[in-house]
Amino acid sequence: MDYLREEPLASPIVDLDWIRQLVELVEQEDLAELIISQGAVTVIVRGRNYRPANFFGVVPTPAFPTPSPALESDEIEGIEPQPTATVPEERLFHITAPLTGVFYSRPRPDAPPFVTVGSEVEPEQVVALIEAMKFFNEVRSEVKGIVREIVAKDGQLVKHGDTLIVLERTD
């Protein structure tokens, strides 16, 4: 594929095949953003990992206070966490942070957590929220399973790729 053009565009009308190639490049290389300018034409292609820059230097603050340790999901009475060490590694599935932000295990401070240790989870079920730039992003499970460990704590800053929750696959 020829991603970069040697000759400038003849007119402001853009070649759609060329743009499709740029979109494929952004997807294949998992780029956040690609900007190409030629003359009066600028093409901006943003990938799924694109996050707008925080122009004003404002650090996002939690939308609600961090719960007290008594409310941590792995300490709820009646639920005995099963150590992940007793589950074969090939049956474990790590739900990871899709972006950098603040982890929340519940939709509101007064609501129960989405999941607790021992909860059964279905594919596409919301298991947590991550707040980034005042927007709440749902974290969904990709597999069916049982929650064996909740690694992230409410109000904790997590980075893209950090393990949030460990499931034992049941599918």
**Using one digit for the tens of pLDDT, what is the confidence trace for 143-168?**
999 999 999 999 999 999 999 999 99
For residue 92, the model assigns a pLDDT of 93
Q: How far are the Cα atoms of 1, 2, 37, 134, 146 from residue 24, in angstroms, in the given order?
A: 10, 12, 18, 30, 36
Count Cα neighbours of 67 within 13 Å in the Cβ-side half-sphere.
22
Residue 100 is classified by DSSP as S
The span from the CA of 117 to the CA of 51, in Å, is: 31
Q: Tell the burial category of 23 from Cβ atoms under 10 Å away from its Cβ (0-12, 13-18, 19+).
A: middle
pTM: 0.53
Band (pLDDT 50/70/90 cuts) for residue 23 is confident
**Using one digit for the tens of pLDDT, what is the confidence trace for 66-108?**
444 444 444 444 444 555 557 788 899 999 999 999 999 999 8
Tokens 């950090």 identify what position? 162
Which residues lie closer than 8 Å to 72 by C-beta, 6 or more apart?
Answer: 153, 154
Q: Hey, what domains does the chain have and what are their CATH numbers? A: 1-50 (no CATH), 81-169 (2.40.50.100)
